[in-house]
Amino acid sequence: MSAENSTGTKAAPKLPSSALSKMSFLSVAIHDYAMFIALIVIAIFLQICTDGVLLAPINISKLVMQNSYILILAIGMLPCILTGDIDLSVGSVLAVVGAIAGTMIVSMKMSVPVTVIVCLLVGLLIGAWQGFWISFIRVPSFIVTLAGMLIFRGATMIILDGNTLSPFPASYQFVAQKFLQDIPLFAAIPYSTMLIGVLIAAVGVYMVVHSYRQKLKYGIPAGSQWALIVKCALIVFVSLFATYWLTKFKGMPIILLLLGVLIVIYSFVCNKTVLGRHIYALGGNERATQLSGVKTKWVRFLVFVNMGLMAAVAGLVFSARLNCAAPSAGTSFELDAIAACYIGGASATGGVGTIIGAIVGGLVMGVLNNGMSILGIGIDWQQGIKGMVLLLAVAFDIYNQSKK
């Protein structure tokens, strides 16, 4: 490691040559932000190909709304992959939750809040059911969730009796289809979306500066002040520009807000909490974690309960977005969510991966999907290209690791 340290409080590196530090800065950037850079390159490329349609405000909103449920699933999937497991049932769980919501609201005319609560509870219950078999009976997660995939798809068909239920009331569709301006409170505030952008920028800058200070304090290589300034400027620019861009259409989609909150919460849990550390440790070496006094069974159980909850949230969002509950909803969503995690740098053997990575991975696929659709490329080619992206992303990651 030859990170530069211009303030030079701790052990001065022996390689002050600026050429070298630039090199290592670049290689660190490529190593740590490879997928993020790839996302930007892909977006720019498709932006040019589509004559500016891809990144137009209206399309950005659409992109977010279209991919929100996959991203929510990816947030739940990442901990599963971190513990070295996998969940193949999420597409079916999403469908069954949608079916329950449809039955309760459309057929039984029950109120929306009650339905949402029931649906979330069902998600938790399904997660607990699968977690029970995986953690306590020790059936491999692949098998339990493969069974779950069939069980819950069957349940969906039974509940819906083969029919598609619609329409949902507007209040149900709110989360998935509306914008910040549609909330009366926010509609009263001009530029409410921009205000959120300012908030994000402020928090982002604070966090970056804080972590830089901490690193200096403990003598960890922190990079130069210039890098810090560039980083802060980037955060401010991106968050302000992105929110400004969104205001050019209808403002911030509510689902983006929800997604943002989930990302923050789950990143926090993964990075800062004991539970998060236990999840990573469990994926790194289960026996060692167990012999360190961690109740590994409960950790794994919780991870699957959480996956059930996330699948339920995604189920609500998906049915609200499509305004219907269909028996075939969410088919192969599990594969998209898993692919998002892997593209985002998660390791198939567990212990490695980040929430942000999974989100970036999901966006890479979402942007590709959307861009190719705009270009009129058929679903057949889209599938193949997505497959190649998954393969190349993971191959690049492994190559990168081995080089290190």
Partner 1 sequence: MTLRSKRTGKGLPLGGSLTPAGRNEYAELFIGNERYCQNISWWGTGLDKVNIQVEEGSIQALVGENGAGKSTLMNVLSGIYPYGTYEGQILYHGQECHFNTIRDSEKEGIVIIHQELALIPYLSVMENIFLGNEQASRGIINWEKCRLEAMKLMERVGLKELPDTPVNKLGVGKQQLIEIAKALSKHVKLLILDEPTASLNDDDSEKLLNLILELRAKWGMTAIIISHKLNEVTRIADKITVIRDGKSIETLVKGKDEFTEERIIKGMVGREITDRYPARVNCPIGEVCLEVKDWCVYSPYIADRLVVDHVNFKVRRGEVVGIAGLMGAGRTELAMSLFGKSYGRNINGTIIKDGKSIQLNCVSDAIKNGIAYVTEDRKGQGLILIQSIRENTTLPTLDKLSSGGVISKEREIDVAGQYMKKLHIKAPGIYQKTKNLSGGNQQKVMLARWIYADPDVLILDEPTRGIDVGAKYEIYCIINELAQQGKSVIVISSELPEVLGISDRIYVMNEGRFVGELSKKEASQENIMRCIMQSNDKKTAEPGGGKNHECGE
Per CB under 8 A, contacts with partner 1 among 143-202 are none
Candidate residues 274, 332, 376, 380; the one interacting with partner 1 per rule CB under 8 A = 274
Residue 90 or residue 222: which is nearer to partner 1 going by CB? 222
Residue 91 or residue 351: which is nearer to partner 1 going by CB? 351
Binding mask 337-376 for partner 1 (x = CB under 8 A): --------------xx------------------------
Distance CA 94, CA 293 (A): 35
Binding mask 283-322 for partner 1 (x = CB under 8 A): -xx-xxxxxxxxx---------------------------
Q: Is 364 helix (H, G, I), strand (E, B) or coil?
A: helix
Distance CA 351, CA 348 (A): 9
State the DSSP code for 298: H
Contacts of 177 (CB under 8 A, 6+ apart): 65, 320, 321, 323
Distance CA 94, CA 120 (A): 11
Contact 304, 127 (CB under 8 A): yes
Beta bridge partners of 165: 325
Residue 84 or residue 371: which is nearer to partner 1 going by CB? 84
**Using rule CB under 8 A, residue 264 touches partner 1:** no
Candidate residues 218, 332, 376, 378; the one interacting with partner 1 per rule CB under 8 A = 218
Q: Among 156-164, 195-203, 252-260, 272-280, which window interacts with partner 1 (CB under 8 A)?
A: 272-280
Q: Among 96-104, 235-243, 277-285, 327-335, which window interacts with partner 1 (CB under 8 A)?
A: 277-285
Q: Among 229-237, 282-290, 318-326, 377-385, which window interacts with partner 1 (CB under 8 A)?
A: 282-290
- Report CA-CA distances (Å) from 87 to 2, 29, 39: 40, 31, 25
**Using rule CB under 8 A, residue 19 touches partner 1:** no
Contact 153, 311 (CB under 8 A): no
From first CA to last CA, the distance across the chain in angstroms is: 10
> What is the binding site for partner 1 (CB under 8 A)?
1-2, 14-15, 214, 217-218, 220, 272-275, 277-278, 280-281, 284-285, 287-295, 351-352, 403
